[in-house]
Structures are given as C-alpha cells and as structure tokens.
Amino acid sequence: MHAPLDNGGRGSLRGTRLLVGYGVVTVFLAVAASVSIKIGSDRDHPPAIAGLYSATPTACFDSSFELTQSGQFVDLDGTGPVEGKLRLRDGRLKGEVTCRDGGSTDVDLALDQGGDNTVFSGTVLDQSVTLAFTAALPEAGKAPAKKRSAEETFGRLMLAIAAVILAARLAGAVLATVGQPRVMGEIIAGILLGPTLLGAVAPDVKDYLFPADIIPLLSAAASIGLAFYLFLVGMELDPTAIRQRATQAAFISNTSVAFPMALGLLVAVPTYELLAPDADYLPFALFMGVAMSITAFPVLARILVERRMLRRPVGALAMAGAAIDDVTAWGLLALATAVAGAGSGVDALVVVGLAGAFTAAMIVGGRPILRRLSTAYDELGYVPPLWVAGIFVSILLAAYTAQEIGIAPIFGAFIVGLIMPRHAGLTEDMSRRLEDFVVTVLLPLFFVVTGLKVHVGSLDRWQLWVLALILFVVAVVGKWVGAMLAARYGGFSWRDSSALGALMNTRGLTELIVLNIGLDLGLISTALFTMLVLMAIVTTFMAGPALRLLDPRGELSEPPEEAFRRAVGERETAEAAPERSILVAPQDDRNIDALLALAEPLARSQPPRELVVVRLLRPVALSTGLVTEDRQLRQTVEELDQRRELLLGRGVQTRVAAFTSADQGADLLRLASEPTIDLILMNGRRPLLGEGVPGGEVGVVLA
C-alpha cells in the first residue's frame, strides 16, 4: 500500500508551521510585486507604429508598404522582394531591408511623430527617405466587399463548423493513442487550421474555410460555448473534496499561484519593453502574473481519472488544489480585467468592489433560489423545462452583468456553476443536457478562433525564441517548483511533491481562455500571445511523461487489482467462494448475456468456480465529463448487480465490478494474471482483412 504521507519528521501542516509558510509566501509575492511595479512603472512600452505607409520612392523602397509590429520587433512588407526585419528602440527604427533589386541594406530611421501622424525620416542608400502613416492595418474579420446573402453566410458557417469538429475529433483521437488528453488534440487541431500550418501550406483553403466575415460568427458561437463550459466547470467543483483537505490543499494551491505570479510580475519588466502593446504597465504585469499561475482544473481532472490517481493522496490533493486554483484564477482574472478596463486607480477599485458585490449577491440571493431545484428534482425525477430555461437565462445574464461591471463575462457563468446545488441527480441531468453539444461542437470553435490568432511565423527572430524559452522556464519553475516546495513543506516525500508539481503545472484550456482575454483587451501582442500559447501546450503535454518518469511503477495510481477489490468489496456473500475463478470481461453491453451463458456451465463444472464479471469503461472523451463518468459507472454497476442476483439465485457464486480504465487491455491482463483465475472469457472481433489474431483488448490479452 502507498503511504498516505511522508512527514519526514517535519510534523503536520498546521498552527505556527502553517503561518510561517504563508508568511514566507506572502513576503515573497509582496517583494516581487513591489520590485516589479517600482522598476516597471518607469519603463515605456514601444510606441504603436503598425499600419500602411507611403514612402518617398528610392532605389530601395516602393512608394507604399506595411509595417507589422510586436513590441520592439517590426516587419516591413512591400511588393516583390521588398521586406525587412527591423527593431524600434529609443525612437529609432533600425535593421536590414531587402530592396527592390534583391540587394540588402541597413536602415536607420528616426521617429519624428507618433500615433496617426507617425513619420519616420532618414537616409537609405544615400537617398533621403520619409515614411508617412496612411492607414491602419485591416482588422481580422472585416466583411468582404461583396456581401453574402443570409443563406450563403449560413452555409459557409456550417462548412467551417463541420471542418472544425472533424479536425478536432481526429486530432483528439490521435493524441489519445499516445496517452495525452483528447482536449489537447483538439487544441492542436485549432492551431493547425490557422496560419501556423494550413495558412502556410494552403492559404487559399484556409481562407475559403474561414473567410473574414465568418470568423466573427465563429467567435460569437465560441464565446457562448465558453460561458456554458465555465458553468459546467463551476458545477463540477466539489466543495466536499476541498473541505476534506482544506489546509494542505489551500496552502499548496495558494503557493502554486503566488510563486509563479511573483515570477511573472518580475519577468514582466523586461518583457514590457520588448513586446508590450500600447498598454499601461500595471495591467500588463498583473496579466503576466495571472498567465504564469494558471492550472487547468478540467484537464488535470481527466489526467487523474485516466491514471486512477484520485484515490491516492497525491491525486486527491492535486484535485482539491486545482479546484482552489481554478476559483483563484478566475478571481485574479476578474481583477486583471478590472484594472485593464479602468481609467484610473479609483475606477479599478470601483470595478473590483462591484465584482465582489456581484459575487456576494449571487451567493446570498441566487443560491437559495437554485436550491429549490433540488426539491423539484426529488419530486419529479427530472429538471422541469421551465427551470432548465431559467438556468440557461441565468448563465447568460450573469455573463452580461460581469461584462457590464468591467470583468470577463465568463466569470459570471462560472459563478452560476459554483452556486448550483450539489445534488447528484440534478448535476447529472444538467451535465447531460449540455456536455455533448458544448464540448463537442462549441468548444472546438474556441480552439480554432484561438488558432487563427496564433502566428508561429511571427517568431522570426532568435531573440523572440530566446524570450519564448525564458517565459517557458519561468512558467515551469514557478508552478512546478512552487507546488513541489509547498508539498514538501507540508510533509510529502520529494517524489510525491515533484509529482504534485508536475500535475499543477498543467495549464491547457484554462490558460488559452485567459490568453484570449488578454489579447482582446490589448494587454499582449500577437507574438507574446503565440509564445504563451506554446507554453500552455508544452506544459500540459509534460504532465504525462513527467509522471511516468517520476513514478515508473505506478505507485501513485490505483492498480486494477486494487480497484477491482474495492469495487466488489461491498458485494461479498456470506457463503464461502470457490477457490478458483473464471474472469468474464465483456467489451460492450451487447455481449454480457452471451458471455455469461457460456460461463455459467463452466462455473458449475467440477470443481465449481466463481464467476468474476468485470466491466471496464473507457474514460469519457470530454474535457469535463466527471459527472457523466460517475453516472455511467453507477448504471453499469446496477445492471451487473441485477445479473449477479440472478446467478446467485441459480447457485452460481458471482462477483461483479466496474471501474474506469484508460488501458483496458493491460488492466485485463493484470487481472487475468491473478493466481485464482483459471479462464478468461471476453468478446472481440477479427481484423477486417486477413485471418490474424483479433486486435484491441483481446489481442493484448492473447499476446
């Protein structure tokens, strides 16, 4: 058995020890914030110069071209070979430009004016040149000159949605085969459908699938999906699990937020000068801190379920800590958006106060109203349609209210999920109504909208890749090391502490939501957005391999034998079971009775044998889905119990069990290797071509 805690002689995490820990964390965060604000407030972000320009015709320049900008880094694009990689520092635009004749020359132009009257002047190839701003760059999503009919627009929207769903499903299935969460495959699919791959390889196909006038429609649908998704996330947070481990979970969670946030505030100082858009330092730094401190609760939950870690101390604590992290993250995001949208410090305080009042009103006033849902559900056995409509309207109105206050709209939807009554049947009913459509249809739209904003090609200088690496290291050190040190301080072994840090370092979808809000608010540039998206993806991919490296023997996971014994522990009969057993492992519900019909006469033979019926369920292919998974397990157990009672009535000793398994073949092989098992009965099918050994779980067991 796995020891629940390795205190290492340190004692429990309470009293003075807990206060000292919080004191150290608070001081570290306060010092980092003070240093960041003091130094950063004196720094200036690069002036905004992106746009279309006219130029004095020279031997090098055309008469017109465009400048695109990511902080100090500027790209010049003209007709033909004219292009350049420039850098804007200290009021001068310097770099190398490829001229019309294919040759290259150095450029050093002075910024004379800014804003809509931006003018650069200088000498190029011994000729005087002046660059004058003429117009802003075209905005993404601008409608085409020829307006589509409503029917044509609808058709193109349906085509775009179909392409997104297909790509998301395929990529999710591929990533699942290598042990990664399906949602990460869907995120990758969204990015590959954007400029990063499809736009680079087949730009005409990308423009046809996602024309400029369809992107705003996709974005609107994605925003609706995010609101309902955050409602599901809030509804699946279990306060009971948090209360059971409140002290340790809160300390580890708070440390794993404060430590990376402090590092994010510090790294914001040089990043602000290099890559910040036209934004004030304080909201930029606060956003960088929030971006570094995120843990993706839904993705982490899927990892813990698939690895059967929830019944181990590390997994249970990671789940509780991530739940607290999630609530903290949305609160910090609300603060960051309030500061970004406010015109002054007083305005920011007003927005924060209104956000607090809104949250309190939802808890005090909204929760008692929603609590009546439990009574209605108990009386009717389902949620009345009028109540369902009322909940949906509440989600939308809460999102609207949050937006009007000046914070992220999804915060309102998340709060509605948090105050939903924790009634198993009610939660299942609401999840069943929403999960499939929201997670399968609407959420992938958010991934492709994100992917259309990711421009890996914009990281076209070595300095940008170095900065991307620095941000990645800061994110990993802050989150992983912060959680690891907090867990070690709380009494865990170094191995368990490091595993907990690897889990808390999972950012996934939650990080993408935060980054999109930062980009929409103008707090980060496209290049910085791309860097942070890559950081979010890589840190999430790291979790699985890191756990396998730290725990190669799977001691942090519940082995299938133990899961089986736990599942059947409450169903033991008073009669002594036969010494030998037959393992019946149906791969689907259709073949259970056929397998039992074969197994029953074998069990009656001499010597008699016990039937052990095990149904392994694959994890739900949803980024939330915990409620759905619990419902499926209960339904499966109820069906197996009915068959068990029939067999017991006919004198056949039977035990049944059902549990989740991400690798059914390997788990069945371990169960079949038990010394009391004489025979395993399971269904399968031969390959479509040839006469080879059946594939899938049957092939694993036979091999």
Claim to verify: residue 358 and residue 505 sit in the same structural domain: yes
Compute the residue count for the chain: 703
Claim to verify: residue 208 and residue 334 sit in the same structural domain: yes
Name the domain boundary from 85, 109, 135: 135
Instruction: Give dist(CA 294, CA 545) in Å, integer.
Output: 20
Low-confidence ranges of the chain (pLDDT < 70): 1-12, 114-116, 139-146, 238-245, 342-345, 423-424, 563, 566-577, 620-628, 685-703
Q: Which domain holds residue 66?
A: 51-135
Claim to verify: residue 357 and residue 333 sit in the same structural domain: yes
Which H or E run includes 541?
Answer: helix 526-550
Claim to verify: residue 517 and residue 619 sit in the same structural domain: no
Claim to verify: residue 99 and residue 244 sit in the same structural domain: no
At 83 the three-state DSSP class reads strand
Beta bridge partners of 616: 659
Claim to verify: residue 364 and residue 325 sit in the same structural domain: yes
Claim to verify: residue 262 and residue 113 sit in the same structural domain: no
Provide the number of structural domains found in the chain.
3
Claim to verify: residue 433 and residue 288 sit in the same structural domain: yes
* Domain annotation covers residue 44: no
* Domain annotation covers residue 85: yes
Claim to verify: residue 618 and residue 527 sit in the same structural domain: no
Claim to verify: residue 440 and residue 504 sit in the same structural domain: yes
Domain at 656, CATH number: 3.40.50.620
Beta bridge partners of 55: 131
How would you write 393-446 as a 3-class SS string?
HHHHHHHHHHHHHCCCHHHHHHHHHHCCCCCHHHHHHHHHHHHHHHHHHHHHHH
Contacts of 41 (CB under 8 A, 6+ apart): 281, 282
* Domain annotation covers residue 180: yes
**Sign of the Cα pseudo-torsion (606, 610, 611, 615, in order):** negative
* Domain annotation covers residue 109: yes
Task: Count CA atoms closer than 13 A to 561's CA, side-chain side.
Answer: 12
pTM above 0.75, yes or no: yes
Res 538: pLDDT: 93
Res 62: pLDDT: 74
Domain at 370, CATH number: 1.20.1530.20
DSSP-derived pairing of the beta strands 64-70 and 73-77: antiparallel
What Cα–Cα distance (Å) separates residue 48 from each residue in 33, 93, 118, 154, 620? 27, 12, 9, 37, 47
* Domain annotation covers residue 45: no
* Domain annotation covers residue 573: yes
Name the domain boundary from 86, 103, 135: 135
Res 557: pLDDT: 82
For 125: left if phi > 0, alpha if psi spans -120 to 50, otherwise beta; the answer is left
Claim to verify: residue 164 and residue 63 sit in the same structural domain: no
Q: What angle do CA 469, 190, 263 make, to 5 degrees?
A: 30
Token readout for 590 is: 């259709």
* Domain annotation covers residue 590: yes
Name the domain boundary from 81, 110, 135: 135
Instruction: Give dist(CA 666, CA 681) in Å, integer.
Output: 15
What b/e string do you get for 588-624 counting C-beta neighbours within 10 Å, with b at 16 or more?
eeeebeebbeebbeebeeeeebbbbbbbbeebbbbbb
Res 244: pLDDT: 63
Say which amino acid occupies 463: Q
Exposed, middle or buried, 3 (CB in 10 Å: 0-12/13-18/19+)?
A: exposed
Claim to verify: residue 476 and residue 606 sit in the same structural domain: no
Averaged pLDDT score across all residues of the chain: 83
* Domain annotation covers residue 454: yes
